[in-house]
Amino acid sequence: MPPAAPRGLDLLHQPFLNRGSAFTADERATYGLEGFLPARVFTLEEQVARSMANLRRQATDLDRYVYLQALHGRNATLFYRVVLEHLRETLPIIYTPTVGEACLRFGELFGRPHGMYLSREHRGHLRALLEQWPRRDIEVIVVTDGERILGLGDLGAQGMGIPIGKLALYTACAGIAPDRCLPVTLDVGTDNAALRDSPFYPGVLAPRIRGEAYDAFVDEFVAAVAEVFPRAVLQWEDFATDNAFHLLARHRETVRSFNDDIQGTAAVTLAGLLSAVRVTGGTLADQRVLFLGAGSAATGIGELIVGELMEQGLPEAEARRRCWFVDSRGLVTADRTDLAPHKRPFAHAHPPLADLAGAVEALAPTALIGVAAQPGTFTEPILRQMAARNDRPIIFPLSNPTSKAECTAEQAYQWTDGRALFASGSPYAAVEHAGRRFEPAQANNVYVFPGIGRGVVAVQARRVSDRMFLAAARTLAAAVGEGELDRGALYPALESIRDVSIQIGVAVAEVALEEGLAGVEPTGDLTTWVRDGMYDPAYPPVPAERRRE
């Protein structure tokens, strides 16, 4: 006999079943809700309007974040309808830049548990813990160990805000059902001594484990995921550079997985470059791209640019010469002996240069990309020099949150006399300059990772290949209209994100089929196949229960 459906207060405390004041009179009588709710019945649309009024009444963005998280814990359907219908307004709250502040204060804010916290103390029992999760049909897992949260560094277990935020966007933007999403934090400790001394820090109060102990812990986790959630896509998120590359290489053949900081950031940035080239004329091969920063995000972007150029017919050595990097010790050059393995493929023969200004002067780049979390480093002299060398300089300060951005949108347009082709990691308001209105583009990974997950899940691809990210970048760039380019927007409107995610999902599924990676063979139209089953926030039926006598 199936378990009895929840009733009364128990039902109101089930966020995936609760509909609050939208329960009808008949439902209230059926499920023992009479007396627990005010008399008036509200529609979902009216609840959305009320929620937005309350959201806008909050004093700060962090207060708005807390309000939305509480709404999710109370009524998940209403939360996702609010986010979907007001994505432009809610995206900066549930994700960058506000999620950064939320992670910094996660211990203070902790309330209703969300997701799984797997600590190093659970070694040897990870599969048993995952088996306690109430569903086996999980489609997407976002996991972090909290060591490199945005540009904020090691936040340990407080990094859980990132997987929670990413998965909310999987649901809103690509229709992955929220009860098929699982946020996970691998709590291996933190080297942030100030956090360990905090009275509210929620994680293991010890330095991080590293080396073989760390690898064994993550290996056990990946093996458990493969066994307990065999359909799931595993997205690595906000790992420190060395571990990010190491774990991606170690496990990408074991489970269908990808690293959003390396590969997702690369795809959205390449899409922005392809859009910019539509404005500047010429080809991607005509560009010389200079990066400030040479970590996982930066070199991930470089590798995808190289992949695209090679597919366009450029030899690999020539393709790599289109990408130059400046790290904390200056220009990355072939004669340096201090380079990590991920930097060496981009170490070109060149006299040493100490800083970004010297590199801009010597290399005359057409595009400047900031991924070093060093605020204010795209200075007025540097941007004016970019404008002097290029009719339409490409300026991408991608570091998050806003406090870490290399320059603001207003500075980029002002210091290039309104000629910059601009994209940033965090959102900026429209800028008025010299009688023109510019709409700054946000190179937000939300444009690509939900669609990639949608496509991989749709055909149960056995692994996530590099060509899938090239396909995602091209598809995203093609979705930008001429009118949007005229206004300075290098990405499509956020309001079209579901359609864009479907298009990217189709492109990813096509690559999986071409490469022989698809685990299922779609029938009929591929777009329909990818679109079918997308979650739409509407109240589901409450489990059947005999009307009370």
Instruction: Dig out the tokens for 417 from the structure.
Output: 């006399």
Residues 448, 282: contact at Cβ < 8 Å? no
Q: Could you give the residue ranges of the DSSP H alpha helices within 229-295? A: 241-251, 265-280
Instruction: Dig out the tokens for 161 from the structure.
Output: 């805000």
Eight-class DSSP state of 348: B
| Spatial separation of the C-alpha atoms in residues 65 and 390, rounded to whole Å | 41
Secondary structure string (H, E, C) spanning 83-100: HHHCHHHHHHHHCCCHHH
Instruction: Dig out the tokens for 270 from the structure.
Output: 């390449």
What burial class does residue 27 get, using C-beta atoms within 10 Å of its C-beta: 0-12 exposed, 13-18 middle, 19+ buried? Answer: middle
Residues 247, 147: contact at Cβ < 8 Å? no
C-alpha distances (whole Å) from 272 to each of 19, 222, 283, 307, 490 are: 40, 33, 13, 16, 6
Q: What phi, psi does 116 have (nearest 5°)?
A: -125, 135
**Catalytic residue at 80?**
no
Eight-class DSSP state of 228: H
Q: Which of 215, 217, 194 is nearest to 205 (CA)?
A: 194
- For residue 91, which amino acid is it? L
Residues 170, 232: contact at Cβ < 8 Å? no
**Catalytic residue at 166?**
yes
Measured in whole angstroms, how far is the alpha carbon of residue 459 from the centre of its chain?
22
Instruction: Dig out the tokens for 41 from the structure.
Output: 């019945």
| Spatial separation of the C-alpha atoms in residues 260 and 274, rounded to whole Å | 20
How many C-beta neighbours within 10 Å does residue 410 have?
Answer: 15
Q: Which of 467, 161, 147 is nearest to 295 (CA)?
A: 147
| Spatial separation of the C-alpha atoms in residues 367 and 392, rounded to whole Å | 9
Residues 415, 385: contact at Cβ < 8 Å? no
The torsion of the CA quartet 259, 365, 277, 407, rounded to 10 degrees, works out to 70
Which of 31, 65, 80, 166 is flagged as catalytic? 166
Residues 466, 258: contact at Cβ < 8 Å? no
Which of 31, 80, 95, 413 is flagged as catalytic? 95
Residues annotated as catalytic are 95, 166
